[in-house]
Amino acid sequence: MTVTFADSAGVRIAYESFGEGPPLLLMQGIGYARWSWDPIVPELAERFRVLSFDNRGIGESDVPPPPYTARQLAQDGLAVLDDVGVERAHVVGASLGGMAAQELAAGFPERVDRLVLACTTPGGAGALPMPAQTVALMQESATLAPDVAMRRFVENALASHADPSLVEDLYQRRVANPPDPIGWQGQAAAGMGFDGSDLEISAPTLILHGTEDAVVDPGNAALLAERIPGARVELFSGCGHLFFWEQPERFAETVAEFLS
């Protein structure tokens, strides 16, 4: 596919479009570009027009000076919709992308049809904090060789019993697509500064989470559901943070059924 660029208040946002049908915007998390949706795009593109983009700070998008906010990331998603001439779309947001998706759904409800929030958090003082396992790894990573740290972060994002071939695949993709340090700092600031406690979301919402997520506490799924009227939670038993890599077929089918 040919990459296209949308303009978001002077920041170029790289995106691709796959398939035909109702528009579906995918919003990814910290340190991962649009390639990280690869396991689910083909199946979803059989039913939807899938729009996948690089957040500011990573991939082929611009890297403006940090910090960033989840609201800015939401506006970047809107810029993609505007560039393709889409007034209203389904939205799937994972991790940091889920925080931005909440900002998008609350701030621009006329632009969001249905909402799927994956492995994310409501933010704010009432949210469950990052699990100790990941906090410890982040502290230790400064003392590790870069390649060792990268592999440890990949392993940490998957369930403890994840297929070694999946770990290797993700590790090699991360090595081939290293995050920009400045962009990573900006995205990290967006995640740390997010507080969705005052956001009002009216879109029909599905909340998905892996039960072994070591990056975002799975208990945040229930907290999100309490804040969003009518939201439904579905857990992926035995899966980690990147559960859409561990069970891509189930993830894509679950999302497609909800959106349809």
- The residue type at 102: Q
Residue located via tokens 């991939």: 59
Integer Cα distance of 76 and 73 in angstroms: 5
Pairing mode, strands 11-18 and 4-8: antiparallel
Integer Cα distance of 233 and 54 in angstroms: 27
pLDDT at 225: 98
Reference 53, options 32, 22, 68; nearest CA is: 32
Integer Cα distance of 123 and 132 in angstroms: 17
List the CATH code of the domain at 4-129+180-259.
3.40.50.1820
Global pTM exceeds 0.95: yes
**Does pLDDT of 36 surpass 90?**
yes
Integer Cα distance of 242 and 105 in angstroms: 23
Integer Cα distance of 87 and 82 in angstroms: 7
**Does pLDDT of 85 surpass 70?**
yes
- Per the CB < 8 A criterion, the answer to whether 40 and 244 are in contact is yes
pLDDT (mean) for 239-257: 98
Integer Cα distance of 3 and 234 in angstroms: 33
Burial class for 218, CB neighbours closer than 10 Å (0-12, 13-18, 19+): buried
**Does pLDDT of 1 surpass 80?**
no
pLDDT (mean) for 190-207: 97
pLDDT at 2: 85
**In 108-156, alpha helices (H):** 132-141, 146-156
- The residue type at 148: V
pLDDT at 27: 98
